Amino acid sequence: MPAMADTLHHLPGRLRLRLAALRRNPDLAARLRSSLAALPGLAGVDVNPLTGSVLVHSDPAAGSLAGLAAALAAHGIAMPDLPPLHPAERLGEAMLALAVEAVLRKSAAALLGALV
């Protein structure tokens, strides 16, 4: 029977799993890091054998977590179903994107004004 991963944190583009089998197991950590880093669409993977956690950064628009379950299963780890995102989390993400876009526009305009 595969070991079960626990979802500690799940937001668009960010997923943290806890794996009991990973604790104090640097060999498994290295194999997982290598396998997960090879998955397309992942922006970063942090595997920590001291805490037994895996942090995955991905592109939420690319649906890049699709291969994650298969990669974990290859190491005998079952990934839980991810809970649906709360509407407030989606709203927060949209508001952050708008704020970043506004700051970038103002910065670009200030830079152009300084150059002219």
- Scanning the structure block, which residue is given the tokens 């009991």? 20
User: What is the predicted pLDDT for the residue at 102?
Assistant: 86
- Give domain 3-83's CATH number out of 3.20.20.220, 3.30.70.100, 3.40.190.10, 3.80.10.10: 3.30.70.100
Name which of 18-22, 68-72, 83-87, 105-109 the model is least confident about: 83-87
Element (H, E) at 43: strand 42-48
CA 102, CA 115: separation in Å to the nearest integer? 20
User: What is the predicted pLDDT for the residue at 45?
Assistant: 92
User: What is the predicted pLDDT for the residue at 89?
Assistant: 59
Q: Where are the domains of the chain?
A: 3-83, 86-116
Look up the pTM and report it.
0.65
Count CB atoms within 10 A of the CB of residue 17: 24
